[in-house]
Amino acid sequence: MKNAPAHAGHGAHYFVPQPSLYPVILSAGMFLLALGFVQTMNDAGPGQWVMLAGAAVIVYVLFGWFGHVIAESQSGAYRDWEDRSFRYGMIWFIATEVMFFAAFFGALFYMRVISVPRLGEMMAVHGVTLWPDFAGTWPTSGPQGAPFTPMGAWGIPALNTALLLSSGATVTWAHWALLRDRRRQLVAGLAATVLLGAIFLGFQAYEYHHAYTELGLTMGAGAYGATFFMLTGFHGFHVTLGTVMLAVILLRSLAGHFSAERHFAFEAVAWYWHFVDVVWLILFVFVYWV
């Protein structure tokens, strides 16, 4: 860590925040969201309203808790020692996200390399006709799946790749500006990144619409449809979160927050954005292309 002294610990006081009610309220909101979700899926009671209440509580906490943290940051409560805690924390949080996507990529590779080919071999090995016309090749909706057209790589997906790669460049450009204290370039870089993220999401929504209405490609389209929508869906959800986070950073930059020396929140969001970018590249290769 370039901002950290050799060891800030001794003699300095670590910032231990005052008691806070936000964590408990957040947990209560998550409880309502989960309860309402179970109700909705099982048609048991007014699930949507319970979910809505939970979501409202969570949004309230996000504004309150993050607002509180920003106020603490602006008042100078955090110095190098605390800053290092946040950095380590964000790094390991992103590590958990990597493993979350690894589960879905693992499922994709398992199906493509192991389970689908073996399903196809069943006929040859056992000499019986379990599934007429099932070849066990990828893409597939399985022995009893409905026909569909897989998503091509070189239309919207390739365009989206270009968009996300460009957004990685613009956020780095904004970071350079921040380090050199060029505030207008910082704002311009962040605004461009938010815009690119939003366009990406628009294209993604269009692609889903196209898949459902014209290609017959749905979540129910067997192994291909399941992995396609879960991987691109969770990625899209992360892009949405990242875009919101970038928008907050943009607003804070406009409000004059961050300095060349101290801007953990900016870097955390930039790391997150690069992580989402890398996931997309793997996704583009293995879900759309090969």
Partner 1 sequence: MNTATTTQPTPHDAGHYPGGLMRWLTTTNHKDIGTMYLTFSLIMFFVGGLMILAVRAELFQPGLQLMQPEFFNQLIGVHALVMIFAALMPAATGFANWMLPLMIGAPDMALPRLNNWGFWLLPPAAILLTLPFTLALFGIGDGAIATGWTFYAPLSVQGGMGVDFAILAVHILGISSIMGSINIIVTIFNMRAPGMTMMKLPLFAWGWLITAFLLIATLPVLAGAVTMLLTDRHFGTHFFDAAGGGDPILFQHLFWFFGHPEVYILLLPVWGLMPHVLATFSRKPTYGYKAQVYSFIAIGLLSVVVWAHHFFTAGLPVPALFYFMFSTMAISLPLAVLFFCWIATMWKGAMSFETPMLFAVVFIVLFGIAGLTGLILADVAADAQYHHSYFVVAHFHYALFAGGIMGVMTGVYYWLPKWTGHMYSEKLGKLHFWLTVISFNLTFMPQFFLGLAGMPRRIPDYALQFAEFNAMSTVGAFILGLSQLIFAWNIWCCVRGGPKVDGRVWEGAEGLEWELSSPPPHHSWETQPVIK
Binders of partner 1 in range 141-160 (CB under 8 A): 141-145
Q: Of residues 225, 250, 275, 287, which one binds partner 1 by CB under 8 A?
A: 225
213 binds partner 1 (CB under 8 A): no
Q: Is 76 in the site for partner 1 (CB under 8 A)?
A: yes
Q: Which pair of tokens denotes residue 202?
A: 């628009």
Choose which of 52, 53, 70, 192 interacts with partner 1 (CB under 8 A): 70
The least distance separating partner 1 from the CB of residue 76, rounded to whole angstroms, comes to 6
Q: Helix/strand/coil (H, E, C) string of the chain?
A: CCCCCCCCCCCCCCCCCCCCCHHHHHHHHHHHHHHHHHHHHCCCCCHHHHHHHHHHHHHHHHHHHHHHHHHHHHCCCCCHHHHHHHHHHHHHHHHHHHHHHHHHHHHHHHHHHHHHHHHHHHHHHHCCCCCCCCCCCCCCCCCCCCCCCCCCCCCHHHHHHHHHHHHHHHHHHHHHHHHCCCHHHHHHHHHHHHHHHHHHHHHHHHHHHHHHHHHCCCCCCHHHHHHHHHHHHHHHHHHHHHHHHHHHHHHHHHCCCCCCCCCHHHHHHHHHHHHHHHHHHHHHHHHHHC
Q: What whole-number distance in Å separates Cα of residue 149 and Cα of residue 214?
A: 9
Q: Does 12 bind partner 1 (CB under 8 A)?
A: yes
Stretch that binds partner 1, among 59-67, 187-195, 197-205, 209-217 (CB under 8 A): 59-67
CA 21 to mean position of chain CA atoms: 27
Q: Which of 224, 264, 272, 284 binds partner 1 (CB under 8 A)?
A: 224
Nearer to partner 1, 16 or 290 (CB): 16
The rounded Cα 88 to chain-centroid distance in angstroms is 19
* Site for partner 1 contains 256 (CB under 8 A): no
Residue 264 interacts with partner 1 (CB under 8 A): yes or no: no
Stretch that binds partner 1, among 149-157, 186-194, 250-258, 261-269 (CB under 8 A): 250-258
Q: Hunting for tokens 């007014």 — which residue is that?
A: 46
Please state the closest distance from residue 251 (CB atom) to partner 1, in A.
Answer: 8
Binding mask 153-192 for partner 1 (x = CB under 8 A): ----------------------------------------
- Among 166, 172, 185, 218, contact with partner 1 (rule: CB under 8 A): 218
Q: Which of 52, 53, 55, 81 binds partner 1 (CB under 8 A)?
A: 81
Residue 71 or 179 with smaller CB distance to partner 1 = 71
Nearer to partner 1, 97 or 172 (CB): 97
Window of 10-18, 169-177, 187-195, 205-213 that interacts with partner 1 by CB under 8 A? 10-18
Two structure tokens written together for 118: 């073996």
Confirm or reject binding of residue 237 to partner 1 (CB under 8 A).
no
